[in-house]
C-alpha cells in the first residue's frame, strides 16, 4: 500500500491537502482546499488499488470514468456534490463537497456514553428529512446501497441529514479489487443493514434502501446493533420490546424491514404518506434513555460481525454501554414461559393494565408541562423499565438463494430450458465455451430478460445486458454466466431459454491440380483466399424523430429479432421523455447518451423518465417475430 500524502501536497496544481479525515478498506479521505474555487474546502477520496501494473491501472481508469457519469447525475442539497475525478502517479481521486458535521454513528456513540439514545420524535424527523432525498435519487435510477449511521451526517450549517458514501462507488472499487481474484465477496453493503437480496445476489431495488433506513432507525432508537436484534435462524427482528413507539410507527418500520422486497413499501414516497399522520403526534425535544429492562435474545441471535466490503464500521464501544441490569421484580421470560398458557394469559392481563396506567401518566405529565423546548438536550428519565409486549412474532418467508445451474452444451446441438422466474430468486446458467465459438441465445416469455457475462464476469459486449436475444462470437475461453431474471417491476414470469453453441465455419480450400510428370515446369494454380461464413448479426434500422411544432410525435414501422427498428431522439437535461407502444406486440429498450441501457427502461411497452443529460437517446423496438407497431413519443420540459 502506498503511504499517505503529507499535508501541503498540491494535486493537479489545484487541490492542497490539509489533513486526513479517515482511512478504511475503500482508501483514504483527505480534507483539501480547492485553489480554483477561492480556497473552498472539499473532500478528496483516494482509492488504494490492491493490484498494480499498466493493465490494471488502465482498467481502473476506464471503470472510474464510466461510473463518474452516475455520480454527476446527483444534484441535491442533501448529497455532497461530486466535482471531479482524476488520476495522478497511479493514485485515483474522487473530489466531492466537504460536509462539516458528525455522522449519526458518532452522535449515537456520544449518547450511549451518557445512557441515552434517540427519541421517537428525533427519528421521525430524520426520516422526514431523508425520505425526500431517496425519492430524488431513486427517480434518477440510483440506489444508495449503503445506508447506515456511518453514512448519514448531521450537517452543522443547517442541522439537516446528508447522505454520503454512495454504494455505487464502493461497488466499483470492489469490482476492481477483486477483478482477478477468485473470492466470491463482491457485493457492497453492511451485514445487518443491507437486505438479504443485496447480500446474496448483489441485486438492489429502491426498497433495499428503505430496508437499510429502517435498520438505521431501529439502531438509533435502541442503541443496539443489528446483529443483537436479528435472529438469522428464523429471519425475524426482535426490537419492539426495547422501545415504546406509536403503533403506527412500529407498523411502518416493520413493513420496511420485511425480508421480501415485494412486502416492503415500493417507494420512499409511500413511506412519507404512511408517516404523515404520525409527524404531529409525537412531542419534540426529548432524548430517550436506553431501555435495559428488556434485553434482546442474544442466545438465539447471530453473532456475525457487521463488516462491509469497503471497510469496517466503528462499533459501539462495549465499555460505553450501560450495563444490562434487568429489573429484579420482572425477570426475563425463558422459552418455556411462552409455552405455558397458564402463565401467559394472566401475565398478559397484568401487562395490559400496567401499560394503560403508564400511558395515562405520560400523557397527563406532557399536558401539564405545556410547550416543550425544541432544544435536543438529553434529559435522563428515572422511570422503571417497561415490560416487554407479549405479542407472538410473525413468521417471515425466506427469500430463496440465487439459483446457479450448470449447462453441458454440445456444439451443434441446440438446447432449451424452461421454467418460472421470480424477482426474488434470480437464475444463473453457467457453461464452458471456447474463444471464437458462435453463441445464439434467446428467451421466450413476456418479461424474461438475459444478461451474458464473460469468464471475467464482465459484459460480453454492450448488447448483452437485459435483452431477449443475443448472437455473436465469444471473446474468451472459460466459464460464461447467463443471468436470467424478470424485467424490472415484474414479480414473476414464465420463460423458455434457447441456446445454440457452434464452431465457426471452417474455410474449404480449393484443391490444386498436381503437375504432370511429363511437364518439367508446371504452373501452380493460385489458391483462393478462404472466407468464413458467420451467422448474420442483428441489424438496426435507425430513424431520427422530428417533433415539428409540438412536443408529441407518432411513428410507425416494423421490427423483428434480426432487424430492430431504432429511433434517435435529441433531448435536453431535465426534460421528461414518455414512450408508449400503441399498436403491436413489442417492448422498449431505451439507451442514454453514452449508449448504456437506462435502468428500468427495458422489457415494457411503455416508459417515462427524466433525461439526465443533453444529447441523443436511442429507442429500440424489440419483438421476437416480425411485428408492425405504432409508437407515441412525448418530450416535454
Which three three-digit cell numbers place residue 75?
444534484
Helix or strand run (H / E) with residue 23: strand 15-23
Residue of 34, 129, 146, 551 marked catalytic: 146
Q: What are phi and psi of 263, to 5 degrees?
A: -90, -10
For 104-193, where are the alpha helices, taking DSSP H only? 104-113, 120-139, 167-177
CA 146 to chain centre: 8
Terminal-residue alpha carbon distance, the chain: 49
Give the span between the Cα atoms of 373 and 346, in whole angstroms. Answer: 41
Q: Of 448, 441, 630, 465, which is closest to residue 552 (Cα–Cα)?
A: 630
Angle at CA of residue 256, ends 206 and 152, nearest 5°: 65
- For residues 314 and 105, what is the distance between their CA atoms, to the nearest angstrom? 8
Q: Which grid cell is 222? A: 435502541
Based on the residue annotation, tell me whether 228 is a catalytic residue of this protein.
Answer: no
Among residues 396, 400, 453, the alpha carbon closest in space to that of 422 is found at 400
Q: SS3 for 388? A: coil
Half-sphere exposure (Cβ direction) of 422: Cα atoms closer than 13 Å: 11
Per the annotation, does 190 bind a ligand?
no
The cell for 186 is: 463482491
Number of alpha carbons in the 13 Å side-chain half-sphere of residue 150 = 21
Asked whether the beta carbons of 104 and 160 are under 8 A apart, the reply is no
> 205, 212, 206: which is closest to 267 by C-alpha?
206
Strands 539-544 and 563-571 turn out to be: parallel
As annotated, the binding site for ATP includes 45
Residues marked active site are found at: 146
As annotated, the binding site includes 45
Amino acid at each position: 500500500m502506498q503511504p499517505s500524502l503529507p499535508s501541503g501536497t498540491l494535486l493537479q496544481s489545484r487541490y492542497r491537502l490539509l489533513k486526513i479525515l479517515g482511512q478504511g478498506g475503500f482508501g483514504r479521505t483527505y480534507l483539501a482546499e480547492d485553489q480554483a474555487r477561492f480556497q473552498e474546502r472539499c473532500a478528496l477520496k483516494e482509492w488504494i488499488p490492491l493490484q498494480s501494473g499498466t493493465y490494471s491501472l488502465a482498467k481502473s481508469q476506464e471503470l472510474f470514468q464510466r461510473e463518474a457519469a452516475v455520480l454527476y447525475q446527483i444534484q441535491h442539497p442533501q448529497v455532497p456534490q461530486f466535482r471531479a475525478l482524476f488520476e495522478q502517479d497511479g493514485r485515483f481521486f474522487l473530489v466531492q463537497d466537504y460536509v462539516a458535521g458528525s455522522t449519526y454513528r458518532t452522535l449515537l456513540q456520544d449518547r450511549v456514553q451518557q445512557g441515552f439514545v434517540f427519541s421517537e420524535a428525533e427519528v421521525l424527523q430524520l426520516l422526514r428529512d431523508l425520505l425526500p432525498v431517496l425519492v430524488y435519487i431513486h427517480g434518477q435510477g440510483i440506489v444508495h446501497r449503503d445506508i447506515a449511521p456511518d453514512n448519514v451526517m448531521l450537517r452543522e450549517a443547517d442541522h439537516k441529514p446528508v447522505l454520503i458514501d454512495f454504494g455505487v462507488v464502493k461497488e466499483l472499487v470492489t469490482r476492481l479489487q477483486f477483478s482477478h481474484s477468485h473470492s466470491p465477496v463482491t457485493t457492497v453493503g453492511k451485514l445487518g443493514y443491507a437486505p438479504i437480496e443485496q447480500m446474496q445476489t448483489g441485486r438492489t431495488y429502491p426498497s433495499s434502501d428503505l430496508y437499510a433506513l429502517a435498520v438505521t432507525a431501529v439502531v438509533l432508537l435502541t442503541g443496539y446493533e443489528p446483529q443483537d436484534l436479528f435472529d438469522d435462524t428464523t429471519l425475524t427482528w426482535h426490537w419492539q420490546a426495547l422501545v415504546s413507539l406509536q403503533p403506527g410507527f412500529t407498523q411502518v418500520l416493520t413493513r420496511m424491514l420485511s425480508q421480501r422486497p415485494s412486502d416492503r413499501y415500493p417507494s420512499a414516497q409511500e413511506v412519507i404518506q404512511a408517516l404523515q399522520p404520525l409527524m404531529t403526534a409525537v412531542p419534540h425535544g426529548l432524548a430517550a434513555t436506553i431501555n435495559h429492562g428488556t434485553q434482546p435474545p442474544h442466545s438465539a441471535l447471530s453473532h456475525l460481525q457487521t463488516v462491509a466490503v469497503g471497510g469496517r464500521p466503528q462499533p459501539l464501544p462495549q465499555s460505553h454501554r450501560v450495563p444490562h441490569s434487568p429489573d429484579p421484580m420482572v425477570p426475563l421470560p425463558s422459552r418455556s414461559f411462552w409455552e405455558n398458557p397458564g402463565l401467559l394469559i394472566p401475565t398478559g392481563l397484568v401487562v395490559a393494565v400496567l401499560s394503560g396506567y403508564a400511558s395515562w401518566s405520560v400523557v397527563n405529565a406532557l399536558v401539564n408541562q405545556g410547550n416543550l423546548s425544541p432544544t435536543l438536550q438529553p434529559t435522563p428519565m428515572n422511570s422503571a423499565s417497561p415490560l416487554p409486549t407479549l405479542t407472538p412474532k410473525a413468521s417471515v418467508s425466506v427469500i430463496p438463494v440465487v439459483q446457479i445451474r450448470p449447462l453441458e452444451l454440445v456444439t451443434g446441438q441446440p438446447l432449451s430450458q424452461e421454467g418460472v422466474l421470480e424477482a426474488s430468486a434470480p437464475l444463473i446458467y453457467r457453461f464452458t465455451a471456447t474463444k471464437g465459438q458462435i453463441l445464439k441465445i434467446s428467451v421466450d416469455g413476456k418479461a424474461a430478460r438475459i444478461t451474458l457475462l464473460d469468464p471475467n464476469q464482465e459484459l460480453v459486449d454492450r448488447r448483452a445486458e437485459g435483452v431477449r436475444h443475443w448472437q455473436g462470437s465469444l471473446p474468451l475461453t472459460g466459464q460464461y454466466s447467463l443471468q436470467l431474471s424478470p424485467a424490472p417491476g415484474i414479480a414473476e414470469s414464465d420463460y423458455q431459454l434457447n441456446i445454440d453453441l457452434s464452431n465457426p465455419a471452417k474455410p474449404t480450400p480449393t484443391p490444386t491440380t498436381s503437375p504432370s510428370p511429363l511437364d518439367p515446369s508446371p504452373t501452380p494454380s493460385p489458391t483462393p483466399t478462404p472466407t468464413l461464413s458467420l451467422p448474420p448479426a442483428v441489424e438496426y434500422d435507425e430513424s431520427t424523430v422530428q417533433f415539428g411544432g409540438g412536443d408529441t410525435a407518432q411513428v410507425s414501422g416494423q421490427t423483428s429479432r434480426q432487424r430492430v427498428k431504432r429511433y434517435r431522439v435529441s433531448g435536453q437535461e431535465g426534460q421528461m421523455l414518455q414512450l408508449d407502444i400503441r399498436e403491436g406486440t413489442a417492448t422498449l429498450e431505451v439507451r442514454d447518451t453514452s449508449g448504456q441501457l437506462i435502468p428500468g427502461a427495458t422489457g415494457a411497452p411503455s416508459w417515462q423518465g427524466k433525461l439526465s443529460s443533453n444529447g441523443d437517446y436511442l429507442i429500440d423496438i424489440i419483438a421476437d417475430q416480425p411485428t408492425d407497431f405504432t409508437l407515441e413519443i412525448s418530450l416535454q420540459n
